[in-house]
């Protein structure tokens, strides 16, 4: 957990789940999840990818995804 000029941020790592699961869990411990930001999906780092945008995967990313399927 950390704070900045925009407020308090909590880092959550989930192996599977939905955004509403984060909101519900936060509410159970008395927190309000105003904004949820997805940074990564599996081994894929999203970086500065804008909402609704896409990009080609690198060879390394494809290799890592295939490794995870084996």
Q: Which pLDDT belongs to residue 50?
A: 87
The domain tally of the chain equals 1
> What does pTM read for this prediction?
0.60
Query: Which residues have C-beta within 8 Å of that of residue 20, sequence separation ≥ 6?
Result: none
Mean predicted confidence (pLDDT) in 5-15: 84
pLDDT at 10 over 90: no
Quick: pLDDT tens for 19-69: 789 999 999 999 888 888 888 888 888 888 888 899 999 999 999 889 877
Q: Please choose, from the candidates 9, 33, 4, the residue with its C-alpha nearest in 3D space to the C-alpha of residue 20.
A: 33
What is the chain's length?
Answer: 70
Q: Which pLDDT belongs to residue 24?
A: 92
The residue range of the domain holding 58 is 2-69
């Amino acid at each position: 957990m950390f704070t900045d000029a925009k407020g308090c941020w909590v880092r959550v790592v989930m192996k599977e789940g939905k955004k509403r699961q984060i909101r519900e869990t936060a509410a159970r411990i008395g927190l309000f999840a105003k904004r949820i930001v997805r940074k990564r999906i599996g081994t894929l780092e999203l970086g500065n990818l804008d909402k609704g945008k896409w990009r080609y995967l690198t060879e390394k990313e494809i290799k890592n995804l295939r490794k995870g399927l084996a």
